[in-house]
Amino acid sequence: MNDFEEIKQRVTIRDILLDAGHNPKGNRMPCPIHNGRNPTSFAFTDETFICYACGAKGGLIDIVQYLRNCIRQEAIRYLCQLAGIQYHETESKGANEAGAFRKPTTPSKRKPPKRFAELEVLKANRDIIEILRWAYTRAIQMWKDAVDKRKVSLSQFHAEEQYFKHKLEHWDAEAIRLTYLIHQLQGK
């Protein structure tokens, strides 16, 4: 058995999350990588993880790289320490310490940039606003139908229509603002 197999038997992603100060309940939680708020966006098993919001995914070494913002060798050193295994330096430049599992990568190549997370949040908010705009437009139509069926008076309809049109103007302005911010982050 090589060192990494022994690490996988002794250390789980839950152990790493607990050591980093997170308290996962079950196998889902808010993403610790992009500090998400959705309680189910980050899913993990003993050896793998994925965030459905920011797209981060990987294994034990990857989660350590994300959480500790370190290079691969430092992540392996940390895993060895956590597993109680002696860490051995290798002499070859390209090989990593635990047996050359993968070509070394830096977290900056793997970790989604902060603006990526911001961009995804802005897009999600814009989608929510589109739903709200549709709902308010539909509400106005329902009030019109109620007037046609003589279920409400015309004065009630005008009061409600004025309220919904005011809300639509607000959401239109917010959609324009979000679209502008999205274009700025995308560099357009």
CATH number at residue 97: 3.90.580.10
* Mean pLDDT on 90-114: 44
Residue 73 · residue 88 · CB < 8 Å: no
- Tally of structural domains, the chain: 2
The closest of 176, 174, 171 to 134, measured between CA atoms, is 171
**Which has more pLDDT, 101 or 155?**
155
Q: Which domain holds residue 137?
A: 114-186
> Are 122 and 106 in a shared domain?
no
Residue 16 · residue 64 · CB < 8 Å: yes
> Are 20 and 96 in a shared domain?
yes
> Are 105 and 130 in a shared domain?
no
> Are 143 and 129 in a shared domain?
yes
> Are 102 and 121 in a shared domain?
no
Record the pTM.
Answer: 0.48
Map residue 77 onto helix, strand or coil: helix
Question: What single-letter DSSP state applies at residue 81?
Answer: H
Share of the chain above pLDDT 70, in %: 82
pLDDT digits (tens, 9 = 90+) for 30-66: 999 888 888 888 999 999 999 988 888 899 999 999 8
Alpha helices in 69-153 (DSSP H): 72-83, 107-110, 114-148
List of residues 6+ apart from 133 with CB closer than 8 A: 168, 171, 172, 175
Map residue 42 onto helix, strand or coil: strand
Residue 98 confidence (pLDDT): 43
